[in-house]
């Protein structure tokens, strides 16, 4: 129902914000990550996800659309509700969550309060393809020079490796250390392919 709410900050706490817009105060649950981005601003714009239950109408706010999109992906996973997803954003940044999913990092996800091994595995299985296609992951690849990735990719493809596993491996290598030479990236990829 709500796309975003823009207004003056009446109250800002690590767990919620009361945003006044047109003389109406909205109680919006936020993550620690969003709190950090909003701290110090008098007027803000939050992207909203609304949950309507029998006993409550809840608003969850996010500093960016990509953060809200990842939140919506997370709550689509069986066993993860809105509060657990907010807990995930309070424990890790959206980029850390995306990287954990893309790199199959079960240990990082299960380190979050309320997430067990099975839930962490389910998150990875359910969201790996979706997160790989979402706009937020472009930052990971873009920050790791695209030319470097493309050169390494074409070299490995010419050596006869399949494209999908090579792309996956290159993303892992470049996420860990984006400022490498093409030769080092190719050598690391050859060791693990």
The model's pTM is 0.66
Q: What pLDDT sits at residue 140?
A: 44
Q: What pLDDT sits at residue 133?
A: 63
Q: What pLDDT sits at residue 138?
A: 43
Range of the domain at 74: 65-135
Instruction: Report the 3 state secondary structure along the chain.
Output: CCCEEEEEEEEECCCEEEEEECCEEEEEECCHHHHHHHCCCCEEEEEEEEEECCCCEEEEEECCHHHHHHHHHHHCCCCCCHHHHHHHHHHCCHHHHHHHHHCCCHHHHHCCCCCCHHHHHHHHHHHHHHHHHCHHHHHHHHHCCHHHHHHHHHHHHHCCCCHHHHHHHHHHHHHHCCCCCHHHHHHHHHHHC
Report the CATH number that the domain containing residue 84 is assigned in CATH: 1.10.150.20
Number of domains the chain contains: 3
Query: For the chain, which ranges sit under pLDDT 70?
Result: 133-146
Report the CATH number that the domain containing residue 24 is assigned in CATH: 2.40.50.140
Report the CATH number that the domain containing residue 159 is assigned in CATH: 1.10.8.10
Q: What pLDDT sits at residue 155?
A: 77
Q: What pLDDT sits at residue 139?
A: 44
Q: What pLDDT sits at residue 136?
A: 45
């Amino acid at each position: 129902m709500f796309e975003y709410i823009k207004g003056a900050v009446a109250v800002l706490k690590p767990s919620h914000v009361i945003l006044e817009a047109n003389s109406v105060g909205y109680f919006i649950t936020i993550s620690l990550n969003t709190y950090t981005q909003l701290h110090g601003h008098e007027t803000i714009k939050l992207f909203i996800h609304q949950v309507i239950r029998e006993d409550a109408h809840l608003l969850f706010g996010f500093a960016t659309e990509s953060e809200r999109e990842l939140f919506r992906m997370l709550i689509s996973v069986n066993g993860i509700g809105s509060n657990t997803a907010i807990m995930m954003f309070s424990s890790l940044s959206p980029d850390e969550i995306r990287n954990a999913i893309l790199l199959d990092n079960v240990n990082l996800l299960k380190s979050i309060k309320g997430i067990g091994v099975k839930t962490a595995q389910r998150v990875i299985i359910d969201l790996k393809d979706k997160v790989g296609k979402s706009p937020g992951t472009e930052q990971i690849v873009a920050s790791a020079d695209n030319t470097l990735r493309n050169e390494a990719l074409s070299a490995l493809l010419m050596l006869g490796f399949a494209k999908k596993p090579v792309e996956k491996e290159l993303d892992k290598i470049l996420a860990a250390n984006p400022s490498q030479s093409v030769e080092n990236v190719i050598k690391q990829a050859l060791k693990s392919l």
